[in-house]
């Protein structure tokens, strides 16, 4: 199954046999005070810088989120989308909890966007799926419903299946849905990662859809988080995730290695290119 996302001139294909697509997560003011301040002032210079640095580190889709106190998302999300489109033609992932902001961003976006996100809550399904249909977009579906994030893999697969069914009933093909099986911290529940991995395997087997994953929650509360996130990402990709939302600066290497190990990098070309690039960045001894 192929999920296709497009800009005006570029097409990104998410599919099980293709290299993993890196969705860059960094245009998001959560925890970034300076970005939040610049968004309040409607200054897009930081947004552009974050776009450039993520592209340099291998992102092929960029998530754009402007949600912060004092930011009118309905006005600022389209501005940010416009700013990113001015400097790059990679497809974008429009990220907001505000349906009106998503609509406004979809109106200025050129191409087939990825909408972030719908979930199995009745209210969300009713708000987001018609928008996906109207704009011919793709959408991220979080494996949760009105009862919250299910504790079991059974519950998450059921929530994912509900999203797929409701989308198909509206005429949205399941190829246009990327399911996120959701990661919770292993610090508070030692079975948290297992549940996510089992959900990923089952969504791949039972629903056949492509999958994203916001992996970094897994290590919340623990030291040396990057090392845990990388290992979880490798396991998640091996289980079926093929378009994770990550910080490309820290996650690109493990994604390239995962593709290498999963038979998606013939002659290790992508890995070797990356390795040489990194070497060229290091000053000679």
Q: Per-residue x/- mask for a second copy, residues 167 to 196, rule CB under 8 A?
A: -------------------xx--xx-xx--
Q: Are 144 and 121 in contact (CB under 8 A)?
A: yes
- Any contact of residue 265 with a second copy (CB under 8 A)? yes
Q: Does 197 bind a second copy (CB under 8 A)?
A: yes
Per CB under 8 A, 235 contacts a second copy: yes
Alpha-carbon Rg of the chain, whole angstroms? 18
- Closer residue to a second copy, CB minimum distance, 97 or 222: 222
Q: Which of residues 42-61 bind a second copy (CB under 8 A)?
A: none
- Give the contact letters, 266-285, x = binds to a second copy (CB under 8 A), - = no: xxx--xx--x----------
End-to-end CA distance of the chain: 47
Contact status, residue 117 vs residue 142, Cβ threshold 8 Å: yes
Return the range that interacts with a second copy (CB under 8 A); candidates 17-25, 76-84, 155-163, 235-243.
Answer: 235-243
HSE (CB half, 13 Å, CA atoms) of 180? 27
Pick the closer one to a second copy by CB: 15 or 238: 238
Residue 222 binds a second copy (CB under 8 A) = yes
Give phi and psi for 44, each to the nearest 5.
-95, 10
Strands 92-95 and 114-120: parallel
Nearer to a second copy, 97 or 261 (CB): 261
Task: Say how many C-beta atoms besides its own lie within 10 A of residue 107's C-beta.
Answer: 10
| 150 contacts 144 by C-beta, under 8 angstroms | yes
* Residue from 224, 282, 283, 285 binding a second copy (CB under 8 A): 224
Report how far apart, in Å, the C-alpha atoms of 187 and of each of 48, 181, 219 are.
35, 18, 7
Measured between alpha carbons, how far is 23 from 245 in angstroms, rounded to an integer?
5
Q: Is 218 in the site for a second copy (CB under 8 A)?
A: yes
22 touches a second copy by CB under 8 A: no
Query: Which chain residues interact with a second copy by CB under 8 A?
Result: 186-187, 190-191, 193-194, 197, 218, 222-224, 227-228, 230-232, 234-235, 238-239, 253-254, 257-258, 260-268, 271-272, 275
């Amino acid at each position: 199954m192929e999920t296709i996302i497009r800009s005006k001139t570029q097409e990104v294909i998410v599919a099980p046999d293709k290299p993993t697509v890196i969705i860059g997560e960094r245009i998001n003011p959560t925890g970034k005070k300076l970005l939040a301040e610049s968004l309040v002032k409607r200054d897009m210079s930081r947004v552009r810088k974050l776009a450039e640095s993520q592209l340099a580190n291998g992102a092929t889709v960029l998530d754009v989120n402007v949600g912060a106190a004092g930011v009118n998302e309905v006005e600022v999300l389209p501005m940010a989308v416009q700013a990113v489109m001015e400097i790059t033609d990679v497809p974008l992932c429009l990220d907001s909890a505000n349906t009106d902001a998503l609509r406004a961003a979809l109106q200025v976006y050129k191409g087939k966007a990825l909408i972030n996100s719908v979930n199995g809550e009745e209210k969300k399904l009713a708000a987001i799926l018609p928008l996906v249909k109207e704009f011919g977009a793709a959408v991220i579906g979080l494996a949760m419903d009105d009862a919250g994030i299910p504790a079991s893999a059974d519950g998450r697969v059921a929530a994912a299946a509900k999203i797929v069914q409701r989308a198909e009933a509206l005429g949205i093909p399941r190829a246009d849905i990327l399911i996120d099986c959701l990661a919770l911290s292993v610090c508070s529940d030692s079975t948290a990662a297992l549940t996510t991995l089992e959900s990923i395997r089952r969504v791949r087997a039972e629903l056949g859809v492509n999958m994203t994953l916001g992996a970094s929650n897994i290590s919340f509360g623990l030291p040396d988080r990057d090392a845990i996130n990388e290992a979880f990402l490798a396991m998640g990709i091996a289980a079926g995730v093929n378009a994770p939302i990550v910080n490309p600066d820290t996650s690109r290497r493990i994604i390239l290695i995962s593709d290498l190990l999963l038979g998606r990098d013939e002659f290790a070309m992508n890995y070797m290119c990356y390795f040489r690039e990194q070497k060229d960045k290091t000053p000679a001894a």
